[in-house]
């Protein structure tokens, strides 16, 4: 085997034999009011802010995720994920949905203790957010098949107990606004994923936990922590 014969991280496209090749993973912080409040911030509609995870942090639904090292506070964040299918910069809000290939259900796994320390010291978030296996995701469902969901229920349960339960209509920045703003910072391209933020109810995970979640009209996701 060639040392440099590296796998391309990819996500199955539901209803096809296609794989969506993951190029970049962008994430939005603080995009649901009740989550902003639970994290101790004022809810005000300032611009959305973004962070990123490496493409190979992708984990497919059904997988077992190792409890990551150097944390004692691994948190779940269920998220509505947008898959980009068109290249472009400075996209207008009106045209933003043309850039969407499809949608998925994701979990933004977070080392909350490291994030807290990073915030206190004004340091970057990579170790809190961009660690190995930090981006579980369901299959991607094409917009041509399911449309553009904007109001379905988004939920997450741990060992069958509901922890997060909200609606996509609670997003502070909707999909069009989030894409338009992101495209002022980076050129978007096919293969990009955007995790759009989590609703209230984030909390700790432990080895042995079964994590399930879903978004009405898209799909469900299931991972186990080991």
Catalog residues that contact Mn ion under the rule CB under 5 A.
77, 108, 198
CB 105 to Mn ion: min, Å: 13
Question: 179-207 burial, b if ≥16 CB within 10 A, otherwise e?
Answer: bbbbbeeeebeebbbbbbbbbbbbeebee
Give φ, ψ of 225 to 5 degrees: -95, 130
Nearest CB to Mn ion, comparing residues 13 and 154 = 154
The closest residue (CB) to Mn ion is 108
Nearest CB to Mn ion, comparing residues 51 and 67 = 51
CB 191 to Mn ion: min, Å: 20
Nearest CB to Mn ion, comparing residues 27 and 91 = 27
CB 100 to Mn ion: min, Å: 19
Nearest CB to Mn ion, comparing residues 36 and 100 = 36
Nearest CB to Mn ion, comparing residues 91 and 202 = 202
CB 106 to Mn ion: min, Å: 9
CA atoms of 170 and 153, how far apart (whole Å): 10
- Decide: 27 and 197 in contact? Cβ < 8 Å: yes
CB 84 to Mn ion: min, Å: 18
């Amino acid at each position: 085997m060639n040392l440099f014969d590296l796998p391309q991280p990819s996500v199955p496209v539901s209803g096809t034999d296609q794989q969506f090749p993951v190029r970049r993973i962008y994430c939005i912080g603080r995009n649901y009011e009740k989550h902003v409040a639970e994290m101790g911030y004022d809810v005000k509609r300032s611009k959305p802010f973004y962070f990123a995870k490496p493409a190979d942090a992708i984990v497919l639904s059904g997988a077992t995720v190792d409890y990551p090292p150097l944390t004692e506070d691994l948190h779940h964040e269920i998220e509505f994920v947008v898959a980009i299918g068109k290249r472009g910069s400075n996209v207008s809000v009106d045209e933003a949905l043309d850039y969407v290939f499809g949608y998925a259900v994701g979990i933004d796994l977070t080392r909350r203790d490291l994030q807290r320390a990073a915030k206190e010291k004004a340091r970057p978030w990579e170790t809190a957010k961009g660690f190995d296996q930090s981006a579980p995701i369901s299959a991607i469902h094409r917009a041509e098949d399911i449309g553009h969901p904007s109001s379905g229920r988004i939920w997450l349960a741990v060992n069958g107990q509901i922890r997060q339960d909200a609606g996509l209509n609670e997003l502070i920045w909707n999909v069009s606004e989030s894409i338009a703003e992101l495209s002022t910072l980076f050129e978007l391209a096919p293969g990009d994923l955007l995790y759009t933020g989590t609703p209230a109810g984030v909390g700790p995970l432990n080895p042995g936990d079964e994590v399930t979640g879903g978004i009405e009209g898209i799909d469900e996701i299931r991972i186990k922590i080991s």
